[in-house]
């Protein structure tokens, strides 16, 4: 069984989030993607403080697909420098891990 991971990214709109999430699941790069509702983000970009609404994507996948997920997000994201962060999972329910692994592309 492949090691499960979570990848986070933020997007500028619900539509963009749904588009990225749908493609990741359709292509079996992710078992599930949660889209968290609009949140406020405060960040520095090009020496200016910005305040924007964003949506957070929580992408459940496996370590062997991490680079493919990163590549897909980079290629299809509206931001010049998208946030893409991987979180290791310390522990995961065995039944959930089995489902996750059955829902993604297998490790070659």
Domain ranges of the chain: 4-102
Q: For residue 108, with 0-12 CB atoms within 10 Å meaning exposed, 13-18 middle and 19 or more buried, which class applies?
A: exposed
Is the CATH number of domain 4-102 3.30.1370.60?
no
Calculate the CA 62 to chain-centre distance.
Answer: 11
Residue 62 CA to residue 56 CA, distance in Å, equals: 19
Give the chain's mean pLDDT. Answer: 97
Q: How confident is the model at residue 19 (pLDDT cuts 50, 70, 90)?
A: very high
Closest CA to 21 of 50, 58, 47, 46: 58
Whether residue 17 has pLDDT greater than 90: yes
Supply the pTM of this predicted model: 0.95
């Amino acid at each position: 069984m492949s090691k499960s991971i979570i990848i986070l990214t933020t997007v500028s709109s619900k539509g963009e989030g749904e588009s990225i999430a749908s493609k990741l699941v359709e292509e079996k790069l992710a078992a599930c993607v949660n889209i968290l509702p609009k949140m406020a983000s405060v960040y520095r970009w090009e020496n200016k403080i910005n305040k924007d609404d964003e949506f957070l994507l929580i992408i459940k996948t496996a370590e062997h697909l991490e680079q493919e997920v990163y590549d897909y997000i980079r290629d299809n994201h509206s931001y010049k420098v998208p946030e893409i962060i991987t979180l290791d999972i310390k522990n995961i329910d065995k039944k959930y891990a089995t489902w996750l692994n059955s829902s993604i592309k297998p490790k070659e």
